[in-house]
């Protein structure tokens, strides 16, 4: 069953059950407000919500005026039931001591009076917030807004409208491609020469040490073939790191351009750190194109194999979300050799910015 997130010409959708989404949101007027300290707070909120809701952060990138998230939303039935013990383990992640004590007193009173209905309602108040994409993004943006408004001494909305999302097929090829696109954001922006040098991204955090690195590694491990087949299995970090690093680095070379004018220059990973460079007029390789701003990852609506796109298309058409004149769901991706990947929305102009 498909559920529409909001009414659009091209529906933005979420699937019931385990599914993956690339989500993006920008600051109003696209002004830079997130610096080092703010990014640390942002990441702390992100990780706390991840634990609270059960929505896994596969990878992420926090930039100065926007963020990218690749999220795994679980099958609700796979989450352990939220009993009182678990509730009071996770409540302190998002609420202060006084609030937690008030909730505990409310629960204790319900038990003393035998008001089982009130006890169930109290638990359900928090249960419904788990395993839901929209609630996760809503709470993340709200909590970051409250912090930033206090920080900047401002009021009003912080964000430029609702978040953008693309449903991504739960297969290794699609997920690794989107993850690499996200983790290469700071390289495309010229903030770092190597993706592991940017600390506010999934890959950068995974290459560090400590608890944060472990969580980031588990996130990236969730898109390995082993984990996709069995969500309870996360492959070793050595396996994940080597495979994912190759994807990030292969052909991800910087181009210095003309020695005098600088024409043709392109940001990327230093030449000496990559194995080979793409030459000639052949279509750009996937790793090379991932260093550019690719609209498919924010405006493509659905991304994955032809079979996945056609399945989603048929369900949308059955719900009259797509006109009967359209015969198929899968649209070929332009501008590079994307292999078997397809999208639902056919983007004919400005697929990517060649200057990036």
Q: Is the pLDDT of residue 103 over 70?
A: yes
Contact 23, 16 (CB under 8 A): no
| Residue (of 338, 257, 263, 262) closest to 294 by Cα position | 338
Q: Which range is least confidently modeled, 174-178, 204-208, 256-260, 281-285? A: 281-285
The predicted model gives 54-72 an average pLDDT of 96
Average pLDDT over the chain reads 83
For the segment 191-208, the average pLDDT, to the nearest whole number, is: 91
Give residue 299's pLDDT. 87
- In this prediction, residue 204 has a pLDDT band, given cuts at 50, 70 and 90, of very high
Does residue 43 register a pLDDT over 70? Answer: yes
* Higher-pLDDT residue of 235, 62: 62
Residues 234 and 107: their CA atoms lie apart, in Å, by 37
Q: Read out DSSP for 31-42? A: -----HHHHHHH
219 within 8 A of 202, measured Cβ to Cβ = yes
Distance CA 87, CA 52 (A): 9
120-148 tens-digit pLDDT? 888 888 888 899 999 999 999 999 999 99
Give yes or no for residue 272 having a pLDDT over 50: yes
Name the residue ranges covered by the structural domains of the chain: 2-78+160-343, 84-127
63: left (phi over 0), alpha (psi -120 to 50) or beta: beta
- Residue 271 above 70 pLDDT? no
Can you tell me the distance from the alpha carbon of 206 to that of 59, in angstroms, rounded to the nearest whole number? 9
Provide the pLDDT confidence category of residue 240 given band limits of 50, 70 and 90: confident
| Contacts of 126 by beta carbon, 8 Å cutoff, 6+ apart | 82, 87, 91
Strands, E assignment, the chain? 2-6, 12-15, 19-26, 56-62, 66-73, 164-168, 302-304, 331-332, 342-343
Lowest mean pLDDT among 11-25, 37-51, 279-293: 279-293
What's the topology of domain 2-78+160-343? Alpha-Beta Plaits (3.30.70)
């Amino acid at each position: 069953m498909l559920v529409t997130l909001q009414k659009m010409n091209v529906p933005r959708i979420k699937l019931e059950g385990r599914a993956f989404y690339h989500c993006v949101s920008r600051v109003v007027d696209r002004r830079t407000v997130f610096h080092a300290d703010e990014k640390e707070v942002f990441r702390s909120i992100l990780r706390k919500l991840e634990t609270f809701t059960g929505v896994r952060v596969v990878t992420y990138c926090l930039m100065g005026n926007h963020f990218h998230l690749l999220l795994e939303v679980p099958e609700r039935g796979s989450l352990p039931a939220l009993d009182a013990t678990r509730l009071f383990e996770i409540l302190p992640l998002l609420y202060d001591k006084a609030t937690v004590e008030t909730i505990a007193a409310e629960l204790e009173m319900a038990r003393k009076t035998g008001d089982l209905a009130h006890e169930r309602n109290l638990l359900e108040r928090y249960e419904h917030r788990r395993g839901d994409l929209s609630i996760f993004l809503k709470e993340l943006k709200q909590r970051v807004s409250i912090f930033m408004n206090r920080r900047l001494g401002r009021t009003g909305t912080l964000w430029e409208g609702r978040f953008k999302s693309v449903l991504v097929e739960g297969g290794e090829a699609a997920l690794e491609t989107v993850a690499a696109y996200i983790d290469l954001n700071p390289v495309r922006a010229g903030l770092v020469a190597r993706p592991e040098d940017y600390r506010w991204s999934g890959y950068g955090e995974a290459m560090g040490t400590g608890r944060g690195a472990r969580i980031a590694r588990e996130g990236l491990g969730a898109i390995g073939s082993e984990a996709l087949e069995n969500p309870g299995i996360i492959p070793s970090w050595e396996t994940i790191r080597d495979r994912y690093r190759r994807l990030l680095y292969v052909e991800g070379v910087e181009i210095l351009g003309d020695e005098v004018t600088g024409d043709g220059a392109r940001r990327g990973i230093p030449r000496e750190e990559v194995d080979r460079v793409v030459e000639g007029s052949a279509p750009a390789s996937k790793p090379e194109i991932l260093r550019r701003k690719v609209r498919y990852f924010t405006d493509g609506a659905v991304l994955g194999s032809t079979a996945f796109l056609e399945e989603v298309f048929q369900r949308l058409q059955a719900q009259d979300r797509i006109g009967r004149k359209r015969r198929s769901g899968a649209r070929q991706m332009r501008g590079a050799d994307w292999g078997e990947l397809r999208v639902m929305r056919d983007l004919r102009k400005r697929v990517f910015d060649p200057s990036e």
